[in-house]
Amino acid sequence: MGYLEELNEKQKEAVTSIEQYVRVIAGAGSGKTRVLTHRIAYLINELGIPDKTILAITFTNKAAKEMKDRVNKLLENENCRATISTFHSFCARFLREEIRVLDYPRSFVIIDEEDQEKIIVDIMEKLSISKELISLKSLINFVSNNKSDGITPQKAAEYSQGFPGEEIKSQVYCKYEEFLKDNYYLDFDDLILKTNLILQDFEDIRLKWQMRITNILVDEFQDTNITQYKLIKLLCSNQTNLFVVGDPDQTIYTWRGADVNIIMNFKKDYKGTKDIVLDKNYRSTKSILDGANCLISYNKKREPKDLYTENPQGGNIIYYQGDSVEHEAWWVIERIKELHYKNSNCDYGDFAIMYRSYYYSRAFETALIKAGIPYAIYGGKKFFERKEVKDALCYLRLVARNDDDLAFERVVNNPRRGIGEKTMSQIKFGALENKTSLYEYFKESTLSARNSTSIMAFFDAIENAKEEVTKRNIPFAKILENLLENVGYLKVLKDNKETERIENIKEFGDYLFEFQSNNGNIDLVDILQEIALYTNQDEIKTGSRVSLMTVHTAKGLEFPYVFLVGMSEGVFPNQRSIVANPASLEEERRLAYVAYTRAMKQLFLTDSIGYNFSSQSYRVSSRFLKESGEFIKPYYNNSRYKESLKKPIIPKRAFETLEKNNINWHPGDMLIHTVFGEGIVIAMTLETLTVAFKDTKYGQKIISKTFGGITRRG
């Protein structure tokens, strides 16, 4: 039992418990994997439990492999027969043995996401469903969500009556299920659903597996959904020992089905459950844990615990507020450079920049590129490589230059306007023959597609945008917004609830607004050339890199230095959670708690002030900063970077002129109103200014240019 000596008292209590039902509340960094692996070894070595009767479930193949390796090492046995796998892997194994009762052969095929997409695309074509009407992603989500909720295609059809869009989706769902059944295919949702179906409807099979498996261990139990929990229940008999490990404070996947109530109500479902709390943290400093404990204490739906550690106190949690998102990003990169230079043992792989949503990566990517620091987007694409950003960029390129044939080819049928390969070939041939651009030729041609409403709208939108650029009285961000609305691009995203893509486009608009505000009388072409510098960077193939990731992606990871950025209301917590319900806000707080506890040596929190063009409001610091209490300290810099941090709050105005004591206003100008206070010009006409005021009770107002009670700030 020598391997038990490396456990602390609570870990040892969990590992050696002989109660039938055990719930381990394992705080962040408290050694839950160690507990699970030692528990398996203890069952086999000390209690004499046959290894092949043990089932341990975790959520990723990587975690399952790590657990297997650790167990084998503890047992000094490479042939341990305990089943350590994900839910889906276990179910695939189960179905190979039992699926014949559902009239499937043992040789059934498990399809992946790419296969699923192809099947649904084929069904859409057969049913003449336009991708502009209903997106592929929304159909996949419809099928998966209904399956997860146990709703059959027939029931989905009943529920969708009277809702045209839902009726179409239910038709696709029905055809999809028919296709899978006819070809003996199963998708990932089917693996658990059909396992549950067999265990529920065939008592002899259920009893066989209940006798085969006597001990079940479940990792990350807080992330379990209803169908997964049902599977666990069906595998349990009155004699089964059930050992679950999780942390309600780290339930952050409710959007994909995880239900915090499952771990919270476990003791009600299994009477006599023994509770053990692992609250000793081995990862972070005391300062980091103090802030994390203070923050999460504001949640009501949780099991009370305070993480503690024997690690050093460490430095304070540092908070910095930038004058803009760009300044915020610039400060983060300077701190990375400073720490990297000071510590010879510190490389770029020790740093992580985390954010609530993917769109927030943009400013930090551009700052890293300018600084020449290698980085990698963990679990996603770089900002300017994302499809919707490239689409928006190509629309602007076409506005700037109608002869940009590559941009034209990308957007002319995006969203679809009935331009197929044949029409495009005719356009290319005609343009070549007439020695003109694709845009100009198609615009003046008599091709049948030219007469369609959508094609007319496309050309009208481009020409209107060109005119708006020439007038120079509307921010480029607003021009882009109008353009994408007029060509129908944003409508498609909104109809299909493509929230993440919409957020990326809004962030692109914010970038345009900020860049234009800070660089005065700049041309659209200048901005596009600036962006090209970011998109054409040589990829650094070797060496360590700064990791950029969402907090969801960061779950299970740890880094010596963590920068949690974008700590503003409406960003983190996000706007949807603020207006939804207390449960949504609690999940956002849990998400912040997870981010805090990824840090080992130092945690930095940042946000920025200033005007946000996409929300048309001023940024306000996140409530989570205040809720972290006295453990957060503002940044005061005494290093060699002090002077360079003095960034101007007011955007520069290279094109500012004064004529006859009348102010020549431009979008992005800051002003002071004698009654409404500070504001920013977001649009204008010959006679008026549209101003967003910092005080939210005034919001946006239209002010006459000749009004004597306004002055330009700075």
87 near 231, Cβ under 8 Å?
Answer: yes
Of the candidates 551, 606, 552, 623, the residue with the CA atom closest to the CA atom of residue 298: 623
**What's the mean pLDDT when you consider all of the chain?**
86
pLDDT digits (tens, 9 = 90+) for 668-692: 778 888 888 888 887 777 778 888 8
Q: For position 651, what pLDDT does the model report?
A: 36
Instruction: List the single range of 247-261, 550-564, 693-707 with lowest mean pLDDT.
Output: 693-707
Q: What pLDDT was estimated at residue 148?
A: 76
Q: What is the mean pLDDT of residues 219-229?
A: 92
d(CA 38, CA 1): 10
According to the model, what pLDDT value does residue 606 have? 96
Look at 471 and 156; give whichever has higher pLDDT.
156
Q: Which of 593, 517, 494, 482 has its CA nearest to residue 222? A: 593
Determine the Cα–Cα distance for residues 158 and 167; give it in Å rounded to an integer. 9
Residue 237 pLDDT > 60, yes or no? yes
Neighbours of 403 (CB within 10 A): 13
pLDDT beyond 80 at 193: yes
Residue bearing the bigger pLDDT, 544 or 598: 598
Choose among 267, 300, 288, 216: nearest CA to 39. 216
Confidence category of residue 59, pLDDT binned at 50, 70, 90: confident
Contact status, residue 561 vs residue 602, Cβ threshold 8 Å: yes
Of residues 219, 323, 391, 607, which has the active-site annotation? 219
Active-site option among 16, 20, 33, 535: 33
For the cut 50, the answer to whether the pLDDT of residue 661 exceeds it is no
Confidence band, pLDDT 50/70/90 cuts, at residue 533:
low
- Which residues neighbour 661 within 8 Å (Cβ) at sequence distance 6 or greater? none
Helix (H, G, I), strand (E, B) or coil at 600: strand
pLDDT at 710 over 80: yes
pLDDT at 687: 76
Mean pLDDT, range 67-84, rounded to an integer: 87
Q: Which residue has the tokens 């050696």?
A: 16
Which residues on neighbouring strands pair with residue 86, listed in sequence order? 58
Of the residues 250, 321, 550, 690, only one is catalytic, namely 250
> Which residues, 6 or more positions from 471, have their beta carbon under 8 angstroms from its beta carbon?
none
Catalytic residue (one of 598, 601, 619, 653): 598
Catalytic residue among 10, 23, 32, 169: 32
Query: pLDDT (tens digit, 9 = 90+) per residue, 263-282?
Result: 999 999 999 999 999 999 99
CA atoms in the 13 A half-sphere facing the CB of 560: 12
Neighbouring C-beta atoms of residue 2, cutoff 10 Å = 5
Whether the per-residue pLDDT at 83 is higher than 60: the answer is yes
Distance CA 464, CA 566 (A): 34
Q: What is the pLDDT of residue 1?
A: 60
- Average pLDDT value for residue range 405-428: 85
Residue with tokens 């300018």: 370
d(CA 565, CA 547): 13
What pLDDT, on a 0 to 100 scale, did the predictor assign at position 650?
A: 33
pLDDT over 80 at 144, yes or no: yes
**Is pLDDT of 430 > 80?**
yes
Contacts of 118 (CB under 8 A, 6+ apart): none
250 belongs to the catalytic site: yes
- Per DSSP, what are the bridge partners of residue 700? 692
Bridge partners (DSSP) listed for residue 689: 684, 703
- Tens of pLDDT, residue by residue over 194-217, are 999 999 999 999 999 999 999 999
Q: What is the CA radius of gyration of the chain?
A: 29
Instruction: Identify whether 33 is a catalytic site residue.
Output: yes
Lookup result for tokens 């009762």: 101
CB 192 within 8 A of CB 228: yes
Is 167 marked active-site? no
Which pLDDT tens digit goes with each residue over 20-36? 999 999 999 999 999 99
The mean pLDDT of 593-621, rounded to a whole number, is: 87
Q: Look at residues 139, 119, 234 and name the one whose alpha carbon lies nearest to residue 182.
A: 119
3-state helix, strand, coil in the chain (%, to 5): 50, 15, 35
Average pLDDT estimate for 604-615: 83
Q: Which of 51, 98, 190, 220 is catalytic?
A: 220
CA dist 105 and 102 (Å) reads 9
Give the residue, 233 or 420, on which the prediction is more confident. 233
Name the pLDDT band for 434 (thresholds 50, 70, 90).
Answer: confident
One-letter amino acid of 402:
N
Can 32 be counted among the known catalytic residues?
yes
- Is 328 a residue whose pLDDT tops 90? yes
Highest mean pLDDT among 50-64, 125-139, 413-427, 514-528: 50-64
Confidence at residue 653, expressed as pLDDT on a 0 to 100 scale: 34
Q: Is the pLDDT of residue 381 over 60?
A: yes
Mean pLDDT of 358-370: 90
Residue 132, pLDDT score: 67
User: What is the pTM assigned to this prediction?
Assistant: 0.76
Active site residue 219: yes
Nearest Cα neighbor of 460 from 479, 494, 486, 440 is 486
How far is it, in rounded angstroms, from Cα 235 to Cα 218? 12
Catalytic site residue 37? no
Q: In this structure, how many other beta carbons lie within 10 angstroms of the beta carbon of residue 697? A: 6
Identify the pLDDT of residue 449: 55
Most confident residue range from 412-416, 506-510, 605-609: 605-609
Residue 100 — very low, low, confident or very high, per pLDDT cuts 50/70/90?
very high
- Decide: helix, strand or coil at residue 151: coil
* Cα separation, 34 vs 13, whole angstroms: 13
Is the pLDDT at 354 greater than 60? The verdict is yes
pLDDT of residue 308: 95
